[in-house]
Structure 1
Amino acid sequence: MANSDKNKQYERSDNDQVSQKKHQRASERRVVNSIAGWIIVIIVILILTFGVLGYNYVQESLQPLNSNNHQEIEVKIPVGSSNKEIASRLQQKKIIRSATVFNYYVKSHNYTDFQAGYYTFKPSMTLTQIVARLQKGGSSEHIAQPDHNVLVREGVTLEQIGDAISKKTPYSKKQFLALMKDQKFLKQLQNLYPQLLESTMKSKNVRYHLEGYLFPATYPYYNGMSLKKLVTMMVAKTNQELTPYYEQIKTKDLTVQQALTLASLVEREGVTEKDRRMIAGVFFNRLDENMPLQSDISVMYVLNKHKRSLTRKETRVKSPYNLYKNAGFGPGPFNSPSINSVLAVLNPAERDKGYLYFVANLKTGKVYYSTNYSQHLETISSIGQ
């Protein structure tokens, strides 16, 4: 009887434990279900929130970046740019809000005919306006105002051009002059402009092959422009200016190097068109007589300084550029001549008078011409020089 009571007691205890466990599991399930419910609610809220934010972001990105900003901003679209790359450039230049949205907009409208070139856009433009401009096509040259202008004056040397570049661009004179010695770059230019540069690249003992080949003009510099591109622009300008005269240079039995060498001397020796043509005639007469040109400009180039007059010792300085000591044209140009000086060389005046000497009055600028040395000395004495 006692054992029967104990067994009943154990059964009740086991049943109680089972009941407690069931209750505990039910309680845990309620907690898990509650947590899962909250997680679902939070996820739904997040989805809705991000959906609203994303929708607002897309809608906002479809609008102009700044409706009140009408500033023209230049953008270059390289050949072969994908829509994604174009969108990235527009965002970097602060033309659009989002490259991602722009790319989506372009894809959704199936726009695929964008063209390369230089464009100007405004932050106030809509995506539709931007797309229309990209479809129309850009310019092959810069459109926007340059950040700086580099002035190459008539009759300046490469050393002086280096000074001008260092003042208006991030590039130093040292970098510029190093580029003037870069044979790979010079070869690239020769391939671009063979008619212009063939003779200078063949010349020996040349200080700089591009001396005389950077045309006097004002050149635009844009932030980010490479030094090579700036120099190429200057060489291209020279080629453009000389193209109408290549045949005439050849007819006169001159190379481009020789024509520019004489033009660089004429540029600095004469002021008026008449004097430049007559001085050119003197140089040709001396060349025909196998006489040294004896131009002070050549010695000043060797000495790398400008002087009103030279000493006898200076005229004997040893250099292939010294045209007091060496007959002929010398290695090459001494500065960047103007087109007027080139034309003076191609159209020399009064050669038939046989002038072999000239001297300028340093006070009045008047130039006197002589056929022989004794007459030349008399003229110098008469003007007190």
Structure 2
Amino acid sequence: MSEEKKSKKEILLSKLIERKEEAKVIRKIVGIIVLALLIIVGGTAIGGYLYVKSALQPVDEDNNKAVKVEIPIGSGVTSIGNILEENGIVKNAHVFKYYVKFNNESGFQAGNYDLTPAMTLDEIITSLKTGKVMMKAEFKITVPEGLQLDQIAEKIAEKTPYKTDEIIKKLDDEKFIKGLIEKFPDLLVKEDIMADGVKHPLEGYLYPSTYPFYEEEPSLNTIIEKMVSQTQDVLTQYETSRVEQDFSIHELMTFSSLVEEEATEKADRGKISSVFYNRLEKEMPLQTDPTVLYALGEHKSRTVYDDLEVDSPYNTYQNRGLPPGPIANAGISSIEAVLNPDNTEYLYFLASKEGTVYYSETLDEHNEKKAKYITSEQ
């Protein structure tokens, strides 16, 4: 190979290497630029996401202090958002506006509202659509099914500054009861709840539910009236069935309380209800232990033979028919069981320690099951 050809080849190779290096540098530069752009775009997206997410949250979850907000007639979503932001109810008016449009919300009402920084966007929207204020509750009182009046008084005392004895005294106060009768005439009948022998007029009329309160210290009147009102609301849906079966409200609440107190977690309330119906039809005493314990004023799991001798109109071992009034509060499942009992021939039932309920049509069969499932467990 001549020197001239060799030189040209070396020059060409040198240029190829140089171009290769340049390409590597360019790829690096392009890669850095692309990466930088991705970081910028990604960072902006993440930042935007976090910003919007934050703007969707309450301004201050712990601040329940009401702020008076006026929404003028004819206000659109944009102006409403601005008003809410200016009053510290939402974090960002634009986010509120797009949230409303995204969820296709409309029908906001003009008016004066007491809103708080602790409210969520959904709560604010609901308030503006219904004209009602959806505030965060200061506290809640949960009343389970099957509680007696003194136990409910304890639940109220746990969440309020009132003492149990003070609450029971209010619940039995004749003047207070008469005021409730005037407010709830379709629910509370004086001749029933204040009849001779009734232990507590409002026993069974404080419905089992969770009650939110928006004042730090609501009055006892307010707390009790809310529970009585809930009972009325629940019973309204069963009005037709109750009337058709010729039940007074007091009879329904009394019967339902017996089912509630006898029911266990595994029990079929419809069958228990049928047992009581069958015994009533045959004019047999109901012989239900919870009524005896109620007469004694005690809370214990089982009765003994001496307990059955207690002299009280609530003692269903000594008295036929229903007791003078409810012995506890009953939930919907027990009320429905009374209005729609199972069709059985059972006259007896008993529950084992495990909660399984055994039913019998005859006394002999009942005694056999008692020996097998109750006596053998003791």
**TM-score class, shorter:** 0.5 to 0.7
Asked whether 1:350 is paired with 2:371, we answer no
| Corresponding position of 1:145 | 136
Q: Note the C-alpha offset of 1:334.
A: 0.8
What letter matches 1:191 in structure 2?
A: E
- Structure 2 vs 1, CA of residues 202 and 72 (structure 1 numbering), >3 Å: closer, same or farther? closer
- Structure 2 vs 1, CA of residues 115 and 373 (structure 1 numbering), >3 Å: closer, same or farther? same
Aligned pairs (5 A) from 1:41-52: none
CA root-mean-square deviation: 2.9
| Corresponding position of 1:360 | 351
Q: Note the C-alpha offset of 1:156.
A: 0.6
Q: Note the C-alpha offset of 1:203.
A: 3.3
Aligned pairs (5 A) from 1:22-101: 71-74=63-66
SS at match of 1:197: coil
Equivalent position to 2:114, from 119, 125, 136:
119
- Cα distance in 2, alignment partners of residues 157 and 303 from structure 1: 13
Superposed CA deviations along residues 194-218 of structure 1, whole A, max 9, x for unmatched, are 2211263353311111111111111
| Corresponding position of 2:157 | 166
Q: Note the C-alpha offset of 1:384.
A: 4.1
- Cα distance in 2, alignment partners of residues 273 and 190 from structure 1: 37
- Structure 2 vs 1, CA of residues 336 and 139 (structure 1 numbering), >3 Å: closer, same or farther? farther
SS at match of 1:194: coil
| Corresponding position of 2:167 | 176
- Structure 2 vs 1, CA of residues 272 and 350 (structure 1 numbering), >3 Å: closer, same or farther? farther
Aligned pairs (5 A) from 1:164-313: 164-198=155-189, 200-201=192-193, 203-221=195-213, 222-271=215-264, 275-313=268-306
- Unmatched 5+ residue regions in structure 2? 1-58, 70-86, 88-109, 119-127
What letter matches 1:379 in structure 2?
A: K
- Structure 2 vs 1, CA of residues 226 and 328 (structure 1 numbering), >3 Å: closer, same or farther? same
User: 2:160, 2:217 within 8 Å by CA — same for their partners in 1?
Assistant: no
Superposed CA deviations along residues 132-182 of structure 1, whole A, max 9, x for unmatched, are xxxx89956x63222221111110111011111111011111121111112
Q: Note the C-alpha offset of 1:273.
A: 7.8
User: 1:74, 1:143 within 8 Å by CA — same for their partners in 2?
Assistant: no
| Corresponding position of 2:368 | 378
- Structure 2 vs 1, CA of residues 263 and 76 (structure 1 numbering), >3 Å: closer, same or farther? farther
Superposed CA deviations along residues 104-142 of structure 1, whole A, max 9, x for unmatched, are xxxxxxxxxx978x722569xxxxxxxxxxxx89956x6
User: 1:119, 1:138 within 8 Å by CA — same for their partners in 2?
Assistant: no
Equivalent position to 1:157, from 126, 133, 148:
148
- Cα distance in 1, alignment partners of residues 266 and 352 from structure 2: 17
- Cα distance in 2, alignment partners of residues 384 and 318 from structure 1: 27
What letter matches 2:159 in structure 1?
A: K
- Unmatched 5+ residue regions in structure 1? 1-67, 78-94, 96-113, 124-135
- Cα distance in 2, alignment partners of residues 137 and 275 from structure 1: 43
Aligned pairs (5 A) from 1:100-111: none
- Structure 2 vs 1, CA of residues 244 and 174 (structure 1 numbering), >3 Å: closer, same or farther? same
User: 1:115, 1:138 within 8 Å by CA — same for their partners in 2?
Assistant: no
| Corresponding position of 1:58 | none
| Corresponding position of 1:41 | none
| Corresponding position of 2:311 | 318
User: 2:267, 2:356 within 8 Å by CA — same for their partners in 1?
Assistant: no
Q: Note the C-alpha offset of 1:303.
A: 2.1
Q: Note the C-alpha offset of 1:72.
A: 4.2
- Cα distance in 2, alignment partners of residues 69 and 345 from structure 1: 48
User: 1:72, 1:121 within 8 Å by CA — same for their partners in 2?
Assistant: yes
- Cα distance in 1, alignment partners of residues 64 and 139 from structure 2: 17
- Cα distance in 2, alignment partners of residues 259 and 69 from structure 1: 47
User: 2:350, 2:359 within 8 Å by CA — same for their partners in 1?
Assistant: yes
TM-score by length of 2: 0.64
Q: Note the C-alpha offset of 1:268.
A: 2.1
SS at match of 1:335: coil
Q: Note the C-alpha offset of 1:345.
A: 0.7
- Cα distance in 1, alignment partners of residues 282 and 67 from structure 2: 58
SS at match of 1:284: helix
User: 2:266, 2:356 within 8 Å by CA — same for their partners in 1?
Assistant: no
Higher Cα radius of gyration: 1
- Structure 2 vs 1, CA of residues 291 and 179 (structure 1 numbering), >3 Å: closer, same or farther? same
SS at match of 1:322: coil
- Cα distance in 2, alignment partners of residues 254 and 122 from structure 1: 49
- Cα distance in 2, alignment partners of residues 297 and 146 from structure 1: 35
- Structure 2 vs 1, CA of residues 341 and 137 (structure 1 numbering), >3 Å: closer, same or farther? closer
What letter matches 2:372 in structure 1?
A: S
- Cα distance in 2, alignment partners of residues 137 and 279 from structure 1: 46
- Cα distance in 1, alignment partners of residues 212 and 293 from structure 2: 30
User: 1:357, 1:372 within 8 Å by CA — same for their partners in 2?
Assistant: yes
What letter matches 2:362 in structure 1?
A: N
What letter matches 1:380 in structure 2?
A: K
